[in-house]
Structure 1
Amino acid sequence: MSPPRLLLERGLLPGIRWQALRAFLARSVLPLTAGLVAVVVACPLVFVALQSAQSGWGPAQRLLGRPLMATLLWNTVTLAAAVTVITLVVGFSAAWLVERTSLPGRRAWTVLLAMPLAVPEFVHGYCWVSLFPSVQGLWGAVLVESSSLYPLVFLPVAAVLRRTDASAEEAAASLGRGPWSTLWRVTLPMTRPALAGGALLVSLYLLGEYGAFAMLRFTTFATAIYTQFNTAFDTASAGMLTIVLVALALLVLLLESQVAKRRRVVREGATARPASPVPLGRAALPAVVWLSAIVAVTLGVPVYALAYWLVRGSSTTLPSASLWGLTASTLGYALAAAAVATAAAVPVALYAWRRDTGLARGIERAAYLTRALPGIAVALALVFFAIRWAQPLYQQPPMLVVAYVVLFFSLALTAVRSSLSHVPHSAEEAAQSLGKGPFAVLTRVTLPLVLPGLGAAFTMVALTASTELTATLLLRPTGAGTLATQFWTYTTNLAWGAAAPYAAVMTALSIPAVLLLTARTLNPAGGARGAAR
């Protein structure tokens, strides 16, 4: 017999009905769990605040008033704005051509357009810089980051276009709207949540990226923070710079919330009808040329660079036992982090989906904020925690896994939240009307319907964690490493050929994950049908 019921029968809980207590506990589990996850994920922000507070107001004013601060703001904001606009244009245009037109070979184009996601950002930078040393500075960073990040817009927009009902577009056509007018007035607004979510991920990635910018010799807040932490050992100044970076991330989150408004794009109670492809006619050739140019720049250059340095690089090292050992350790860390992050994202996404309240939105936004933290800041926050309260965990694998979860939790949350937005609330309400409890509704109705989103979340976190660099440099166990850290060791010494095998293995490991992500993201109906059976 449960303790509350035992107390009730013995008269120790007078006036309290067990059913009401159980209902209260059931209602409290989800917000408490979601809040606990958000607090754990956001803990590095507390460390950043404590470190910045050590400098005092006077030094903080002097730091914020330095010309360097204006340079960092200009570089970071300009880069984020330029890359976000380019990725939105490239991602939406590619998704529309693939999903809404008579473009030949649409499935092949989908795979090719998503494949740049398999190449880590710092490997993109390595490929461009090793072939074209002049690719540096702002426009070099814009080129490299746009090439690397546009799939974060392309994939969610393509998924929305594929599963959105065609009735609105057909109605526009019946009213005399042409294809371009329908595209601008109907199709584009339907994809606004996906565009906003993709832009959010792109912007937050840019704010926290270090490796690619270090190769491109472009200074942002992330590179300045790394310099303060790792070279000058000035944690107070680095903490203050990180606070500014977090403020920029908060501004990005507020802008995204105003654009997206978290609208659910779902047609209740029916299966969406696919749209009839828009005939391209004479525009077919320009469309193919446009997509070919995207693939050539974003995928062709990295593939050529890796092949060139593997075959012709004078410093190329043959794959050794250490390469395979590093591959195994990289996969172990990445898969563990993906499992934890996906499981932790479920309660946060569910709470934000079920309860459109200020508290729910606050918990969700707090979980997103840490994506703007550089890996070095998250790593030092965990070092600070381990040294003071958990010394046995210091420089142990669990600390590195936790760092990956904190850094990439927003990826899992975005995937799960996006999948939930397409689930009709009536599905849960019907199960509840049949007497099913909260746990049964979750396991038998909600989770099977969002299974593709869970798969996407797991894949995205594993894919990204397997190539993380800066946090790994500090938190890896003594004498251990990953493919990314060994790659970085060679590239810092300009040993392009020696770094090529590690870059190639990282890319090869990511290819199956990208293929799986593409299949799960663009074929949600199959996952839902399988879950229903």
Structure 2
Amino acid sequence: MRSRGSAAAPLLLYLPPGLIALAMLVPLGYLVLRTLEADPTHLAELIWRGRSRVLLGNTLQLTGAVVAGTTAIALPLAWLVTRTDLPGTRMITTAAVLPLAVPGYVMAYALLGLGGQNGLAASLGVPLQRLSGLGGAAAALTLYAFPYTFLNLRSAFLSLDPGLEEAARSLGYSPWQVFLRVTLPLITPGLIAGALIVSIYTLGDFGAVALMRFEVFSFAIYTQYTSAFDRSYAAALALMLMALTALPLALEARVLKNSHLARVGSGVSRRPRQIPLGWKMPLALLFVAAVLASSVGLPALILLHWMRLQPPWAELPRVATAFGNSLSAAVPSALVAAAAALPLAYLRVRYPSRGSRAAERIAFTGYAVPPLALGLAMVFFSLRAVPALYQTRTLLILTYGLNFLALAMGPIRNSLMAAPRNLEEAARSLGRSRVAAFCLALFPLLRKGIFAALTLVFVMVMKELPLAVLLAPTGFTTLSTAVFSRTSEALLAEAAPYAAAIVLFSSLFVGLLVRSESPHNQEPSDASGKTTPREDLSRAPLSRETLPGNPL
């Protein structure tokens, strides 16, 4: 059914979404077929065996621990930088985003490098045992992922109407009661959006849990597949992980389904009263320093420590080769993702209907499916249907394109929504064909969105690990696989230059993101340089609909 007032889309425009749906769903179908090839009795035993229950328990424990840990860090940090007189909030906000430049497996490498006989702690005279298991995996993923929750909560705090809190205070509520009864319910969408992103990332993570030797579904899928003992069990585990990943999406939709949050209209909001910290200021600064030292300072110190013990100069040629391999996969993957996202976004924005919404949601499937499950599906599909694709760079690039297609759609869709429709109509009225009208009138307005999509996918591929581990051709070493393989063998000094290359490259990208905010998109600041909320309340919390387009 088409939306009221929308014209019917040309049938040819549904061809790219149809091909993308086939590319996305057919491999997942092969994953189901590979599972069903097992004897039904044997399959039931595999699913209900004790090890599967242990994997489920471990996966839920890790996800719960990471969501709790990221919330415990992000909630007070977001409140401090938006609602108090804490100095230097703009610099703190920038530093709090930097952990996104340190992938989970590099954060795990940093924690491993802290302990042990030759670790940083031992060199400082305080020997520590190396972290491992649930504690190590939860710590690594928490320190990497808390910026996702922080950014959502910061947006939620900046979107609040301070009049609601002031009205509660005028009724005699204490500050703590105001926070629990007024503020916390209003920032719930931001809190849930952050928890959703963190939980999906944790469920699909492979590098940190593998390095910390903590058996969850993703780690078990990899070991079961590489050992080749029972690949039907690996396929079954992948399907169970996919079902588990759907759980937070369903919970988020159910929780927010009937929520109605008060919000003032544009132009009515005013600057909230900054809460003086007083004698609590040293405690707040100590908390901020501890968070930033653990998430940003620790990886940097660990990398410097290991490169001091073993200078990286002899390894630099191999680092350059790995960087070139990563580059050779990232550039075409970004082009594939952007080329596929453009017709999908155009169909969704210009011809809204049930069909276009379905095409968009199919595109989001690759982003929601855990990478190891998607990679395993591609392995089974290529072996059965197109053996020539197995362990080729072409298959790796196509899978990257499908995996990050939803991320590429975000900037392109936003550019399309901002482009006036009458430009194309004017071009058509001058006798231009539909394609010529698009190229001449609309495409120039989409260049920034397309460039943002290309950049986003490019950087995500440069540091991606699970798909590279499963699908990369033999001998094709990327920066991420070099870090993982060397750290897995306890060669921490050898892994340091590769990890440093990833961190430096990703830090540059995060820095560009922070600086790319134009003045009209930044919060105004007072004379002290402290940021204050925008008057138009345009920074709304992320929701499930905006999640796939979130550049971070």
TM class, shorter-length: 0.7 to 0.9
The corresponding residue for 2:8 is 24
Residue 384 of structure 1: CA displacement? 3.9
Q: Distance in 2 between matches of 1:415 and 1:285?
A: 41
Query: Which 10-residue stretch deviates more, 403-412 or 102-111?
Result: 403-412
Relative to structure 1, the CA distance from residue 201 to residue 171 in structure 2 (aligned partners, 3 Å threshold; closer, same or farther) is closer
Task: Indicate conservation of the 8 Å contact 1:210/1:374, yes or no.
Answer: no
Where does residue 498 of structure 1 map in the other structure? 494
CA RMSD of aligned residues (A): 4.3
Alpha-carbon distance in structure 2 between the residues aligned to 1:339 and 1:151: 28
Q: SS of 1:212's equivalent?
A: helix
Residue 87 of structure 1 is matched in structure 2 by 70
> Which residue, 27, 32, 48 being the options, matches 1:65?
48
Q: From 92, 99, 119, give the equivalent of 1:116.
A: 99
Give the structure 1 partner of residue 252 of structure 2: 256
Q: Offset of 1:276 from its aligned partner?
A: 3.6
Partner of residue 147, structure 1: 143
Instruction: Tell me which residue corresponds to 2:207.
Output: 211
- Of 395-404 and 234-243, the range deviating more from structure 2: 395-404
AA of the residue aligned to 2:88: G
Give 1:247 deviation, angstroms.
0.8
Aligned equivalents of 1:169 and 1:436: distance in 2?
Answer: 49
Shift of 1:456: 6.3
Q: CA deviation at 1:332?
A: 3.6
Structure 2: how far apart are the matches of 1:479 and 1:501? 19
Distance in 2 of aligned mates of 1:131 and 1:220: 24
Letter in structure 2 aligned against 1:110: T
Between the aligned partners of 2:193 and 2:18, the Cα distance in structure 1 is 22
Please give the alpha-carbon distance, in whole angstroms, between the structure 2 residues aligned to 1:78 and 1:442: 51
- Residues 352 and 361, structure 1, Cα contact 8 Å, conserved in 2: yes
Q: Is residue 496 of structure 2 the alignment partner of residue 512 of structure 1?
A: no
Compare 40-49 and 504-513 and name the one that shifted more: 40-49
TM-superposed deviation, 1:519? 4.1
- Amino acid of the structure 1 residue aligned with 2:38: S
Written as runs of structure 1 = structure 2, the 5 A alignment for 1:228-239 is 228-239=224-235
- Match in the other structure for 1:170: 163
After TM superposition, give the deviation of residue 338 of structure 1 in Å: 3.5
Match of 2:196 in 1: 200
> Match of 2:285?
288
Pairing 1:327–2:323 present:
yes
After superposition, the Cα gap between the structure-2 partners of 1:71 and 1:185, relative to the gap in structure 1 and judged at 3 Å, is: same
- Unaligned ranges ≥5, structure 1: 1-21
C-alpha spacing 1:98/1:359, structure 2 compared with 1 (3 Å): farther
- 282-291 or 360-369, which moves further after superposition? 360-369
In structure 2, relative to structure 1, the CA distance for the partners of 1:433 and 1:324 (3 Å cut) is: closer
The amino acid of 2:7's aligned partner reads: A
In the alignment, the residues of structure 1 paired with residue 359 and residue 207 of structure 2 have an alpha-carbon distance, to the nearest angstrom, of: 30
Structure 2: any 5+ residue segments left out of the alignment?
1-5, 116-128, 524-537, 539-552
Question: CA 1:68–1:392 in structure 2 vs 1: closer, same or farther (change >3 Å)?
Answer: closer
Could you say if the C-alpha distance between residues 383 and 171 of structure 1 is closer, same or farther in structure 2, counting changes exceeding 3 Å?
closer
Amino acid at match of 1:112: A
CA distance in 1, matches of 2:9, 2:358: 22
Q: Does the aligned pair in 1 maintain the 2:27–2:381 contact within 8 Å?
A: no
Match of 1:311 in 2: 308
- Which moves more between the two structures, 427-436 or 232-241? 427-436
- The aligned residue for residue 3 of structure 2 is none
Cα distance in structure 1, aligned partners of 2:39 and 2:153: 46
Sort the Cα spacing of 1:94 and 1:230 in 2 relative to 1 into closer, same or farther, 3 A: same
Matched, 1:242 2:225: no
1:283-329 deviation line (CA, Å, top 9, x unaligned): 4333222221111222222111111101024x856343222132133
- Is this contact kept in 2: 1:207–1:222, CA < 8 A? yes
Residue 395 of structure 1 and its aligned partner are, at CA, apart by 3.8
Deviations 1:369-426, CA, capped at 9 Å, x for gaps: 4446454443343344445554554444332222223333454457778x699x79xx
SS at match of 2:314: coil
Among 24, 36, 40, the residue aligned to 2:23: 40
**Aligned residues: percent identity?**
32
* Aligned twin of 2:396: 400
CA distance in 2, matches of 1:493, 1:449: 46
User: Does 1:297 pair with 2:294?
Assistant: yes
Deviations for 1:157-210, whole angstroms, at most 9, x for unmatched residues?
A: 334545x3x6x3235425645765555555544544443333222112111211
Residues 357, 191 of structure 1: alpha-carbon distance in 2 compared, 3 angstrom cutoff: farther
**Given the superposition, is the C-alpha separation of residues 157 and 138 from structure 1 closer, same or farther in structure 2, using an over 3 Å criterion?**
same
CA contact (8 A) 2:348 2:357 kept: yes
Structure 2 CA distance, aligned partners of 1:522 and 1:290?
30
Q: Is the 8 A contact 2:137 2:214 kept in 1?
A: yes
> Which amino acid is 1:252 matched to?
P
Give the conservation status (yes or no) of the 8 Å contact 1:35–1:348: no
- Report how far residue 240 of structure 1 moved: 0.8
Bigger mean CA offset, 78-87 vs 487-496: 487-496
Distance 2:410 2:258 in 1: 12
Name the CA distance, whole Å, in 2 between partners of 1:256 and 1:348.
25
Moved more, 470-479 or 382-391: 382-391
Further displaced range: 356-365 or 204-213: 356-365
Q: CA deviation at 1:361?
A: 6.5
Whole-Å separation in 2 of the counterparts to 1:512 and 1:466: 13
Distance 2:74 2:265 in 1: 30
The structure whose residues are more often helix, as a share, is: 1
Instruction: Go from structure 1 to structure 2 and tell me whether the alpha carbon gap of 1:205 and 1:42 turns closer, same or farther (over 3 Å shift).
Output: farther
**Could you tell me how far apart the structure 2 residues matched to 1:89 and 1:450 are?**
40
Paired position in structure 1 for 2:532: none
**C-alpha distance in structure 2 between counterparts of 1:445 and 1:209, whole Å:** 39
Give the C-alpha shift of residue 59 in structure 1: 1.2
| TM-score with structure 2 setting the length | 0.76
Q: What is the identity, as a one-letter code, of the residue corresponding to 1:169?
A: P
Cα deviation code 1:243-285 (max 9, x no counterpart): 1111111112111222345999999995685634523332433
- Contact kept? 1:317, 1:498, Cα under 8 Å: no
Q: State the Cα distance separating 1:153 from its structure 2 match.
A: 1.7
| Change beyond 3 A, Cα 1:396–1:269 | farther
Aligned counterpart, 1:11: none
1:386–1:394: 8 Å Cα contact kept in structure 2? Answer: yes
Which of structures 1 and 2 has the larger relative contact order (alpha carbons within 8 angstroms, sep 6+)? 2
Structure-1 residue corresponding to 2:134: 138
